[in-house]
Structure 1
Amino acid sequence: MCSRSCAKCLGATLIPLALCCIVANILLYFPNGETKYAQDDSLTLYVWFFTGIAGGGIMMFLPATVFMKVGDSNDDGCGKSCVMFCSVLAALIGVAASGYCFIISALALDKGPYCLTSLGWMYPFQDGNGRYLTDRDSWSACLIPAHVVEWNITLFSILLVLSGLEVIICVIQAINGLLSCLCGSCCSMENYSMNA
């Protein structure tokens, strides 16, 4: 019973995280609230990977729904083990989706934003191994969009943290589900042998 309530709680936690990932990814398309950069294709390449919308967002509704259904399930014995095994599979899908969001967000932070510099449109920080993140003086290299460095760092960092939390939650449920499957099978075998 404890494993089911844990699954339900984890599922409910994933929903706001997924919604926040979707919002953060959408905001990346509109630096400073302007639409012209998306229309002109003047955004960093990693924005078009839909990491927060698909990986950390929409795909996370599957494990969240499964986890919450597990919490509502009243099956015992073999049915409980089957339901918990399904939650393990959903958790693995969640790990893959949120892991995708985490990796792409980290790569985006490492490469830096695409912006207009004195040399034209380019990635001015891509060869710096992410050193620009702590060197605020170098951010002035990006002239347009205004404050694009802060915009990208903030939103990709949010995606990185949220997807990291999603990975942790899905791993916890995978372990919870596996233990419940194994313990459920053992308990069922003990009950069978005691009744025999």
Structure 2
Amino acid sequence: MAKPWILGLTGGIGSGKSAVAQCFVDRGVHLVDADHAARWVVEPGKPALAKIVEHFGPQVLQADGHLDRTVLRTLIFDNPEQRRWLETLLHPLIGQEITNYLAQAQSPYAILVSPLLIESGQYKLTQRVLVVDAPEALQLQRTMQRDNSSAEQVQAIFQAQASREERLRHADDVLLNDSDLSHIAAEVERLHTFYLTLRGGQP
């Protein structure tokens, strides 16, 4: 069997990445979520967590020994130097974790879902990029409803992510998600059928 090629799946916050990803999983496609990999590498007992505690102090730990992400976020939010230190530690480990999981794929192609696929350079692990796109007003509305957050909070996340134009520039395929779930399912079915005809992600 040919080695599966890798599809990168990304989109801005509230674009509907998770719904699209689930549709691919329902069709038997092996999927790795970069957010999950980012959590695995800092589980209790993992070397990365020990290094983070050594660097930032025990305040970054919850009582049960897990990483307190809220505290860590506060410590690096306004401190580019500390953020870079953390990224230098974690990005290679996350990349390794992702590669290990993708290597287990049994489907003709596998998917790497990452909100920061472009920004983190993870798109270099993929042969093709699918961007889930949605009008910004709709992204804003969905995220506010889902996370119970204010427009200002969502706008701040928009600022931290790659711009819509930047993402679309990297896209081989775009799925416009401005309708309902049946529309997503039909689009995924169309793309999936097309992807099964590809070798190495290219026609």
Instruction: Tell me the TM-score range normalised by the shorter chain.
Output: under 0.3
More strand by share: 2
What is the TM-score when the length of structure 2 is the normalising length? 0.25
**Which has the higher relative contact order, 1 or 2, with Cα contacts under 8 A spaced 6 or more apart?**
2
Based on CA coordinates, which of the two structures has the bigger radius of gyration?
Answer: 1
Scaled by the length of structure 1, the TM-score of the pair is 0.26
Which of the pair is proportionally richer in helix? 1
